[in-house]
Amino acid sequence: MRASKPQPQLEEIPESECVEILREHSVGRIGFVVDGWPQIFPVNYGWRAGAIVIRTASGTKLSYAPESQVAFEIDAYDAAAGVGWSVMVQGIAHNVTEAADDFSWTARGAFVHPLAPSEKPHRIGIDPVKITGRRFRPSG
C-alpha cells in the first residue's frame, strides 16, 4: 500500500499580517473589467499608508481602472516545501497622478519602480475596502 500525501492545511492570514506581506513585496496583479470582460495585468507596486500604487502609461489600465472596483493580488508558492500564500485586496482605483485630495497626495508618495520598459508617468492608487489572505502548508 502506498503512503498517501499529507493533506494541505489552509489558514486565513490576519489582515495585519497581509499588510506586512504587501509592504515586503513589489510585484502583483491588478484585475478589473474591460468591455464587459475581466482582465488581469502584472504590475509593480508600492504601498504607502494603506494605498497600493502602480505606475502606468496611457492605455487600458489608465482608461478602465480609475473609479472602478478592482482586485489586486500577490502570491508565492514553494514547491519543494509545499507551502504557498496569497493576499488579495479589493478596493476602488483612482487616478492619483495629479489629483489634490488627501488619498492622492499620500499615494503619490509611494515608491514604485516599474520593471517593464517605457515611460509610466501616471499613477493609479487602490483604496482598499477589504484585505484578505490565505496560507496553505502540508499537515503533520
Per DSSP, what are the bridge partners of residue 71?
31, 90
Cβ contacts of 60 within 8 Å, gap of 6 or more: 34, 39, 41
- The per-residue pLDDT for 105 is 96
Q: Are 125 and 107 in contact (CB under 8 A)?
A: yes
- The per-residue pLDDT for 140 is 63
- The per-residue pLDDT for 115 is 86
**What domains lie within the chain, and their CATH numbers?**
14-138 (2.30.110.10)
Q: Are 66 and 134 in contact (CB under 8 A)?
A: no
Secondary structure (3-state) at 32: strand
- The per-residue pLDDT for 135 is 97
Separation between Cα atoms, residue 127 and residue 107, nearest integer Å: 9
pLDDT in tens, the chain (140 residues): 566 666 678 999 999 999 999 999 999 999 999 999 999 999 999 999 999 999 999 999 999 999 999 999 999 999 999 999 999 999 999 999 999 999 999 999 999 998 888 899 999 999 999 999 999 988 76
**CA-angle at 91, arms to 85 and 94, nearest 5°:** 125
Burial of 47 (0-12, 13-18, 19+ CB in 10 A): buried
Q: Write down the H helix ranges in the chain.
A: 15-24, 60-64, 102-108
Secondary structure (3-state) at 92: strand
